[in-house]
Amino acid sequence: MKQLEKLARIAKQLEPNTQQRLLIRDAVVQHTEKFLNSLYTRTAYAALNKSESLLNENFDEEGENVHSIISKVSTQIELDGINAASGFDMGYVPGGGVYSASLGDYWADITNLYAGIFYANPGAVRLENKLILWMAELVGYPSTACGNLTSGGSIANLTAIITARESRQLKAQDIAKYTIYLGEQTHHCVSKALKMAGLGEMLIRYIGIDAESKMMPLILEKQIQIDEEMGFIPWMIVASAGTTDTGAVDPLRMIGELAQRKNIWYHIDAAYGGFFLLTQTGKKLLEGIELSDSVVMDPHKSLFMPYGSGVVIIKNGNSMKEAFSDTAHYFQDFEPNELDFSPADLSIELTKPFRGLRMWLPLKIHGLAPFRAALDEKLILAQYFYTQIKAKGFETSNPPQLTITTFRFKFGRDENKLNKALIKSIQEEGKIYLSSTTLKGIFVIRLCILVFRTHKREVDIAIEVIEKHKNRLIKTLIDA
């Protein structure tokens, strides 16, 4: 009994009382408030490499003061690398992470609701299913669609690929007979997913893209015909609604009609572009998305949620259930619910957090209007940036379809080297963060406007920064 009492006394430190909770919570909240209030003056990038001492950080038997912990995290982690909450982060495909979502996480973590199985928490599962159905309606899918809230676009794409594999009953010994069609700018997580789904030996056809970086349906059709004549079985077409390189949206309707004619599974990776469906411009641009069999959208991109928010939706919900549903003897206490599918029956996960609350809460607290406005604003800002940067003599690709502009400057001969030097110089300063890519062998800088905190002021500053570094570079070249 004494041993038990002693153990309980120590273990009870895991349950701080109201006052102790207030102390820890206040310290963390005060720190995050400071972080938020300093965002506009912080850099978007820093290569300080200050976190090395964390490698020597061990766990002691006694706990540490919360202020000392906060100090370590804030100085060794937060100031380093990309500041992904900053309105000056215009690299890759950012989103920012709205504040209200963090409260959803806080709430869901404290209640620790089990959102994997309907029986364990019917309300959490229903709320997530309702959220997914709302997204399915945005896409134009029927109410028989099903989906899953994932940790991001990569897992979401993998989930769609597994569903399609099971739905078309692909057998291991036949994999090499099947073909899949990707665009030249399809995100690499799709080919990675193929390997993870055991489909790595499938023939991957990369279809050519036009001057606007869109997949060319006529070439696609021809390739399918050639493959059929060669005895292959065309299995899946993956179109993009917003490529990572350029933000290109493939001709979704034309590809969809072809997929239907040929009875090929049609998947759309709309991880970046998906939530632009909340705008009129986006609706027009993504016209035909409803023809797809499956779609991926990333709330941590165009719905401005924090990292860890993805979604996959399958038009024929039953095929998702058939792909993932399983049972075990320890599940004998509950009957499966036929109306409200459990996430565990539609995904790779069993135990999962109540991920939906972080997405549902911001939509309820703010309403849809600010999300639509932010997306429309970003679309206009992208056009604004494109016009301004072009006017400053930079070479650009076509006007942005969504919110990415690719550009480079020309001076002398080795333009790839020159633009590499330009992005390096911009990143070293860190005021803004931009990334780069290579398009048909040409090195280009890309600027993606998607953080909800990016407004005209931030874009104007970005233009000034780019111009300043370009002029500096030209001066060093002339002086040399």
Ligand X SMILES: Cc1ncc(COP(=O)(O)O)c(C=O)c1O
Q: Minimum CB separation from ligand X for residue 247, in Å?
A: 9
Our CB check for ligand X shows the closer of 70 and 444 to be 444
Taking the least distance from each CB to ligand X, the nearer of 146 and 193 is: 193
Choice between 83 and 186, CB closer to ligand X = 186
Q: Which residues would be at the binding site for ligand X (CB under 6 A)?
A: 92-93, 152-154, 187, 189, 240, 242, 244, 269, 271-272, 298, 310
**Given the complex with ligand X, which of 268 and 381 has the nearer CB atom?**
268
Least Å from the CB of residue 187 to ligand X:
4
Q: How far is the CB of 189 from ligand X (least distance, A)?
A: 5
- Judged by beta carbon, residue 274 or residue 288, the one nearer ligand X is 274
Q: How far is the CB of 137 from ligand X (least distance, A)?
A: 22
Shortest Å, Cβ 154 to ligand X = 3
Closest contact distance (angstroms) between CB of 406 and ligand X is 14
Assess contact for 252 and 291: CB atoms under 8 A. Answer: yes
Q: Which is nearer to ligand X, 140 or 153 (CB)?
A: 153
- Cβ distance to ligand X smaller for residue 154 or 454: 154
Cα–Cα distance, 322 to 279 (Å, whole number): 34
* Residue nearest ligand X, Cβ-based: 153
In the bound complex, what is the minimum distance in angstroms from residue 448's beta carbon to ligand X? 9
Give the nearer residue to ligand X in terms of CB position, either 269 or 290: 269
The gap from C-alpha 377 to its chain's centroid, in whole angstroms, comes to 20
- HEC sequence for the chain: CHHHHHHHHHHHHHCCCHHHHHHHHHHHHHHHHHHHHCCCCCCCEECCCCHHHHHHCCCCCCCCCHHHHHHHHHHHHHCCEECCCCCCECCCCCCCCCHHHHHHHHHHHHHCCCCCCCCCCHHHHHHHHHHHHHHHHHHCCCCCCEEEEECCHHHHHHHHHHHHHHHCCCCHHHHHHEEEEEECCCCHHHHHHHHHCCCCCCEEEEECECCCCCECHHHHHHHHHHHHHCCCEEEEEEEEECCCCCCCECCHHHHHHHHHHHCCEEEEEECCCHHHHHCHHHHHHCCCHHHCCEEEECHHHHCCCCCCCEEEEECCHHHHHHHHCCCCHHHCCCCCCCCCCCHHHCCCCCCCCCCHHHHHHHHHHHCCHHHHHHHHHHHHHHHHHHHHHHHCCCEECCCCCCCEEEEECCCCCCHHHHHHHHHHHHHHHCCCECEEEEECCEEEEEEECCCCCCCHHHHHHHHHHHHHHHHHHHHHHHHC
User: Which C-beta is closer to ligand X: that of 88 or that of 92?
Assistant: 92
Query: Cβ of residue 18: shortest distance to ligand X, in angstroms?
Result: 38
Q: How far is the CB of 353 from ligand X (least distance, A)?
A: 17
- Rounded to a whole number, what is the largest CA-CA distance in the chain? 83
CB of 289 to ligand X, least distance (A): 14
Determine contact, residues 94/448, Cβ cutoff 8 Å. yes
Residue closer to ligand X, measured from CB, 153 or 362? 153
